[in-house]
Amino acid sequence: MEHLEGHVTSMCPLPFSGITGEIFLKAVSTVVAVHCTILDDFNWPPDNSQEILEEGSGISFDFIIVGAGTAGSLLASRLSNTYPSWKILLIEAGDDPGIDTEIPAFLFLNQNSSSDWSYKTHPDGNSCLGFKDNSCIWSKGKGLGGSSSINAMIYLRGHPKDYSEWYNLGNPGWDYENLVTYFNKQEALFNITDPDFKGYDNEWYKILDNAWSELNFTSYNYTSHEAFVGTKKARLLTQNGKRINTAKPYFKDADKLFVMKNTAVEKVIIDPKDKQACGVVIKHKSGQVMNIMANKEVILSAGSIATPQILMMSGIGPKTHLDEIGIDCHQNLKVGQNLQDHVLLPLFLKTNMNMTTSTDVINILLLQYMLTRTGPFSNIGLTDYMGFIDTERNSDYPDIQFHYFYFTKNDNFVLKPYLEGLGYKSDIVKAIEDLNKEHDFLGIYPTLLRPKSMGEILLPKSPLTTPIIKANYFQHPDDVLTLLRAIDFVHKLEKTSIFKEMGIELLNISICKCNEHSFNTDSYWQCYIRHMATTIYHPVGTARMGPRNDVNAVVNHDLLVHEISNLRVVDASIMPTIPGGNTMAATLAIARKAVDIIKKQYNNKDEL
C-alpha cells in the first residue's frame, strides 16, 4: 500500500499534500487495492507445455483430454483425483481467462475478445440477413473454463421430458431420474441451492410478474431449476458479485493434473488396423508440432464445433465428405450432422419510464462494484428473468423461452457495443440507436427451444482452417411459425394493464428490405425474423449419442465412439436433442456422469 501511495504522489504531489490530500490518497489507494483482490487468491493450474515439448514426440499419458471447457475441466480434474497414479493430460487451445471475465455485467464485452473463438456461420441467404456478411457470430469460450468464462451464467436444467427423449432414443441411463443425482451434486458444489439466497433487486421483476400473472401464468421465481411453462428467475453461477468459472472449483483439487495451454489438437492418431485411438497430434503456439500418445483413452471435450472438426480431421466422419477433402476415412459416421441451436429474436419495445444513465452515474456504479462487489455490475440486469410458453397451448412442454433486457434512453454505454458485438450491419445498429435517442427500451427476446431445422459442421478445403458452420436456421418452415406465435404472445403482453400503464409497445425497426411490408403483418415479421434472429450460443448434437443401429449416432450411451476403441466424447456435442433451456447445466451433468461411466469401466466404484 505504501509503495502504491508513493507512486500516486510522485505523479502529482500537490493535490495529495496536507490533511485533505492524505485522506484522499488513502481513499484512492483503497479503491485500487480492493480492485486488485478481484482475482482473490485463486491460481490457475501451471502450464506444463514446455516440459512436455522438451520431452518430444513419443511422450505418453494414460488419459489425454482435449479441451478445458465446461466439460473437460470437470472431467480431467475429477479423474486426476480418482486415479492419482495415472498421468492425465488436459490440452487447451486458449490460456487463462482475463480479468474482464470475472465481472458479470461485462459478459457482452468478452465477445470477440481473446477469450472467444468468434466463429461465424456460413451465409445461406435465408437467415442472419441483418448481420455483416449475412453471417451470425457464434461466440464460444477459448481458455480454461471454456464458455463458462464468457456466457450469461444462467443455470437451468431444462425440462424433464428433454432427457426422457434421450432415453427413448436408445440411451439407457440418460433419463431425467438418472441425471437428477448429477444436477444435485453440481448445484451443491456451486452453492446454487443456498436457502438464504435473497435474489437480485430489479424493479422490472414485479412489472413482468404482474403482466404474466394477468395472463394466468404461474411464477416459479427461484423455487426450481427446471424450465416449466410459466415465469421464473433463474439462478446465476455467481458468487460474491463475481462470475463462477466452472473450472475453478474443480481445479482447486487437481494437483496431479498435467495441463498444456495455448496448444491446439490437430487430430487423433488412429491405428487403421486395430481402429484404436493411440494419441493426438498437437501444435503449440510456438509452432512446434508433436505426437503425444495415450495408454488408455483420448477424450474429446472440445465442444460442438471443435469436437466434430477434430474427429473428421482424424478420419472419423461422413465418408463422402472426407473423400472430398482428401482425408482417409477410418470410420463412416454422421459426425458434424444433427447440429441444433436455440435461435433468439430481439424485439424492442418503448416504455414511458424515460430513464437515462449518465457517464458520471456509471462511474459511481463502477466504483461501488470495485469497493463492495454489489450493484448493477455484480449481475446481468434483467436477463435472469424469463418466461416459458407452449405457443400452441396444448401441453406443459414449452417451445419458447423469453429473455429480457432493459436499455435506458440514449444509452451510450451498453447498446451500441452490444449490437456491434453481435455483428449487426451498421445501418441496423444506427436505426436502433436513433430510436433509443427517443425512447428507453424493454428488450423481449423469444427463443426457439425445439428447432426442427438441423445444421451441420463441415471441414473446409484447407482442413486446418476454421470449420464451416451451416446453421440452416429456418430451413424448416415450422420454426418461423413458432416465432410468429411468440410475437403474438408479446402482443398479448402489450395488452396487459401494467404494459398499457407504462406505454410498452413494439417498435418498428427500420430494415430496408422489411420496409417493403406493412409493420406488424406476418410478412413483415417473417422478414424481420430472417434479418434479426441470431444464436444464443447453444449449439449441440454434432456427435450424437445413440445405439449402433441408429444411423445418425456417433457415440454410444457410454460416450465411446462407435467402432473406434479408446476414443470417447464428453461435451454438448453428444446431446441427441437440444434441452429446453440454457445448456450449461446439462453439459456439466454429462461430464459428471462420464466420470462415473469411466470409473465403472476401470473397476473403481468409489463416490466422487
- With a pLDDT cut of 90, the percent of the chain lying above it is 77
User: Is residue 32 pLDDT above 70, yes or no?
Assistant: no
**401, β-bridge pairs:** 388, 447
State the pLDDT at residue 608: 42
Report the candidate in 202, 205, 191, 203 with the shortest Cα–Cα distance to residue 235: 191
User: Is residue 531 pLDDT above 80, yes or no?
Assistant: yes
Cα–Cα distances (Å) from 547 to 170, 544, 561, in that order, read 6, 10, 11
State the pLDDT at residue 19: 66
User: Is residue 460 pLDDT above 50, yes or no?
Assistant: yes
pLDDT band at residue 550, thresholds of 50, 70 and 90?
very high
d(CA 538, CA 578): 8
CATH number for the domain whose boundaries are 111-132+202-236+341-535:
3.30.560.10
How would you class 196 by CB atoms within 10 Å of its CB: exposed for 0-12, middle for 13-18, buried for 19 or more?
exposed
d(CA 228, CA 158): 8
User: Is residue 127 pLDDT above 90, yes or no?
Assistant: yes
User: Is residue 364 pLDDT above 90, yes or no?
Assistant: no
d(CA 89, CA 83): 13
State the pLDDT at residue 199: 82
Taking the model in full, what pTM does it have? 0.93
The lowest-confidence range among 8-12, 161-165, 173-177, 507-511 is: 8-12
Residue 266, C-alpha cell as written in the block:
490437430
pLDDT band at residue 487, thresholds of 50, 70 and 90?
very high
Give the rounded distance of the alpha carbon of 262 from its chain centre: 20
How would you class 492 by CB atoms within 10 Å of its CB: exposed for 0-12, middle for 13-18, buried for 19 or more?
middle
Give the residue, 603 or 598, on which the prediction is more confident.
598
d(CA 123, CA 29): 51
Condensed to tens digits (0 to 9), the pLDDT of residues 192-223 reads 888 778 888 899 999 999 999 999 999 988 88
User: Is residue 27 pLDDT above 70, yes or no?
Assistant: no
Domain ranges of the chain: 2-39, 49-97+247-338+555-577, 111-132+202-236+341-535
User: Is residue 372 pLDDT above 60, yes or no?
Assistant: yes
CATH superfamily of this structure's domain 49-97+247-338+555-577: FAD/NAD(P)-binding domain (3.50.50.60)
State the pLDDT at residue 605: 46
Report the candidate in 74, 68, 66, 236 with the shortest Cα–Cα distance to residue 142: 68
Condensed to tens digits (0 to 9), the pLDDT of residues 559-591 reads 999 999 999 999 999 999 999 999 999 999 999
- Give me the count of residues in the chain: 608
Condensed to tens digits (0 to 9), the pLDDT of residues 56-81 reads 988 999 999 999 999 999 999 999 99
User: Is residue 520 pLDDT above 60, yes or no?
Assistant: yes
State the pLDDT at residue 607: 42
Per-residue pLDDT, averaged over 541-562, amounts to 98
d(CA 571, CA 589): 10
Report the candidate in 445, 449, 403 with the shortest Cα–Cα distance to residue 580: 449
Cα–Cα distances (Å) from 505 to 406, 492, 520, in that order, read 14, 11, 12
User: Is residue 17 pLDDT above 70, yes or no?
Assistant: no
Condensed to tens digits (0 to 9), the pLDDT of residues 381-426 reads 999 999 999 999 878 999 999 999 999 999 988 999 999 999 999 9
* Beta carbons of 536 and 343 less than 8 angstroms apart: yes
Please, what's the b/e burial string for 332-351 (b: 16 or more CB within 10 A of its CB; e: otherwise)?
Answer: bbbbbbbbbbbbbbbbbbbb
The lowest-confidence range among 134-148, 246-260, 508-522 is: 246-260
User: Is residue 10 pLDDT above 80, yes or no?
Assistant: no
User: Is residue 234 pLDDT above 60, yes or no?
Assistant: yes
Mean pLDDT of the chain: 92
Condensed to tens digits (0 to 9), the pLDDT of residues 241-294 reads 899 999 999 998 788 899 999 999 999 999 999 999 999 999 999 999 999 999
User: Is residue 36 pLDDT above 70, yes or no?
Assistant: no
